[in-house]
Amino acid sequence: MVVSTQNVIRVGFVPEHFSSPLHMAVEQGFFEKEGVVVERICCPSGTGEMTAKLIDGSLDVAIALTEGLLAGIAKGHDAYKMIGTYVVSPLCWAISVGQTSQHANRKSLRNGTIGISRMGSGSHIIPYVMAEKEGWLQKSTTGSDVIGHTNKTSPFQFKVLNTFENMRNSVNDGSSDAFLWEKFTTKPYHDSNEVRSVDTITPPWPAFMIAASTSTTRFANSTQRQATLARFLSALSSATEHFVNPDNYEESITFVQNKMSYTRQDVEDWFSGVRYPNAGCAAVDRESLTTCARILLEAGVIQKDQEADVKEKLDTKYVDAQVAQLV
């Protein structure tokens, strides 16, 4: 049977436990029931890789970090808009250093070299949130402002390393001082003593949003695009609801264990704190995005006019109001 490309959605995801409901939706037929075929595209470099693929047309949808998606649009990327929320709870980032590193806590990282996957990724943005909390943005005397701002001095040098493995290797060979990555994804490498955790940081906004390409080239027309994306979100909502249903607890825990090879205790610890949307994935919270923009401004990631742009054009430039419900 030949499947029309108008019903196939190429979805970018990170190979982490958060993606379990997406995999469940594919493997247990949630998308099939809605008449949508999903091609999963693994993006191990994270949000920066996915936004690049949305821009070059190799993804239709990305499940990516809120701050990366928002910052990308604020900086002028118009190839995608946000269409929903995937994970409501914020992401907890582990700050990791090499096993023999002299760094004992995050306070010694000012003016250091941070390993990142890509520019514009969460691993690139969240260090600025850390810097804002520590008051380093004005105090720094060295560092390279890779974001290109002139109103704040960067408290870090950045080293683009592309993959999680390369970031771990870099802190151990001394070419970077630290990297930031999701806590439970990093935990096995803390447990094995490959790298060492010195702290965590949690930004105050939903961890993962859903973005879709604004292009209609893979659809018959804009109406076809909207309808297909709506069916995609409906199926994903059903899968997330199934995943967190207490009646399915054992099934969900086992599913994550089998996908990620985590210990049961680690899965249970993560599961106890994660929150997926109660009202379905098509809702986007206005206050969460404006809060994110404000902190990105304070952290030096976006500029004042870009923060104002988020507030003024949230329902036209940033969120696809024909697909998502802005609440």
Burial of 257 (0-12, 13-18, 19+ CB in 10 A): middle
Decide if pLDDT at 141 tops 70.
Answer: no
Closest CA to 239 of 4, 6, 11: 11
Q: Tell me what pLDDT residue 280 has.
A: 93
State pTM to two decimals: 0.84
185 near 16, Cβ under 8 Å?
yes
Q: What is the mean pLDDT of residues 207-236?
A: 94
> Tens digits of per-residue pLDDT, 49-101?
999 999 999 999 999 999 999 999 999 999 999 999 999 999 999 999 999 99
Which residues does 165 contact at the CB level (< 8 Å), separation at least 6?
A: none
Ranges of beta strands (E only) in 124-187 are 157-160, 178-182
Q: For the chain, what percent of residues have pLDDT higher than 70?
A: 93
Give strand pairing partners of 200: 94
The more confident residue out of 279 and 237 is 237
Q: CA-CA distances (angstroms) from residue 291 to 11, 53, 255, 296?
A: 27, 26, 34, 9
Closest CA to 47 of 32, 36, 59, 33: 59
223 CA to centre of own chain: 28
209 near 62, Cβ under 8 Å?
no
Which residues does 87 contact at the CB level (< 8 Å), separation at least 6?
A: 18, 206, 207, 208, 274, 275, 276
Measured in degrees and rounded to the nearest 5, phi and psi for residue 35 equal: 75, 25
Question: Whose structure tokens read 């096995």?
Answer: 188
